[in-house]
Chain A
Amino acid sequence: MSDRKARLTITVDPRLSAYAEQLVAEGRAPSVSAVFNDAMEARIQRERRQRRLWNEAAERADPGKVARMMAHVDAQAAALLRGE
């Protein structure tokens, strides 16, 4: 993937735009683009963390126990479908 910045046209809520401009005016961000860049990066990191936690759970789980639980759920679901 190229490091060259992509030019996008986006629409944002007025309060978010105002906040981004305030950050720039206060010297807390170099540009409005940088604010939105950082926000997207933060979202990527948060979603990665969420996926990692779920993957860790899958690695920690006892596959035999999970298979028994799923079979038990499936049996109950099948019984419901049969009207038992």
Chain B
Amino acid sequence: MAVARFDASIMSLMQGYDARGQSLVVPVLTLTGASLDVRTDDADDLLEGLERLGNAEVAPVRDAEQATRLAEVIARTGLDPWDAHVAAVADAAVCPILTLDAAKWQEHARDLDEPLHFIQITDPDEAPGGPGAEQTDPDEAPGGPGAEQ
């Protein structure tokens, strides 16, 4: 997760959506994976600071049913537990995944019963091919941005 790497643009974007009142769901295992990736006290502070955003909600693995559902998502997608939790939360909440890596989610978009939808976070001016170069390919219409990856 870009937050653990102190990506100022991504953090500012998240603050911007928070200021708008946009709900953001952060699957808790995403935080675990990001913390494992970086392994510094500052990174952990940044990740814990997500909870200070007024409209961000950390989604836990709450009970046995959610734990076994997560296992099913891991088995069906082959994703690691951190990303699989993102997929499980997005699938349950019917919300798109905000991601820096659209290609990864494109590959797994149809692994579950319902398609996963994702939104790529990128600066169109910096994307290969210039403004508007990359597009997502959704089939159905879910709600607003939610699960954060």
Which A residues are within 8 Å of any B CB, using their own CB? 46-47, 49-51, 53-54, 57-58, 60-63, 65-66, 68-70, 72-73, 76-77, 79-84
Bound together, the chains give a CA A47 to CA B52 distance in angstroms of: 8
Question: In this complex, what residue of A is CB-closest to B96?
Answer: A80
Q: List 9 A-B contacts (CB under 8 A).
A: A50-B49, A57-B7, A57-B46, A58-B11, A65-B9, A66-B12, A73-B145, A79-B136, A81-B141
Report whether A70 and B17 are in contact in the complex, using a CB–CB cutoff of 8 Å.
yes
Inter-subunit contact B119/A83 (CB<8 Å):
no
For A73, what are the chain B residues with a Cβ–Cβ distance below 8 Å? 13, 98, 119, 121, 145
A57 and B125 contacting across the interface, CB-CB below 8 Å:
no
Q: A61-B11, A76-B136 are in contact. List 7 more A-B contacts (CB 8 A).
A: A50-B48, A50-B52, A58-B15, A65-B125, A66-B13, A69-B121, A76-B120
Interface SS, A side: helix
Q: A51-B49, A72-B124, A77-B119 are in contact. Are A61 and B138 (CB under 8 A)?
A: no
Among residues of B, the one whose C-beta sits closest to the C-beta of A66 is: B12
- Roughly how many angstroms separate A73 CA and B121 CA in the complex, as a whole number? 6
CB within 8 Å for A54 and B17 given contacts A72-B122, A80-B138: no
Q: Could you say which of B8, B119, B122, B138 contacts A58, with CB atoms under 8 Å apart?
A: B8
Q: Specify which chain A residues have a CB less than 8 angstroms from the CB of B52 in the assembled complex.
A: 47, 50-51, 54
> In the complex, what residues of A have CB within 8 A of residue B113's CB?
none
Contact of B123 among A46, A57, A69 (CB under 8 A): A69
Q: How far is the CB of B26 from chain A (nearest CB, A)?
A: 14
> Chain A: which residue is nearest B120 at the CB level?
A76
**Docked-complex contact A69 and B13, CB < 8 angstroms:** yes
List B contacts of A63 (CB < 8 A): 12
Q: Is B140 a contact of A83 with CB atoms below 8 Å?
A: yes
CB under 8 Å from chain A, chain B span 28-62 = 42, 45-46, 48-49, 52
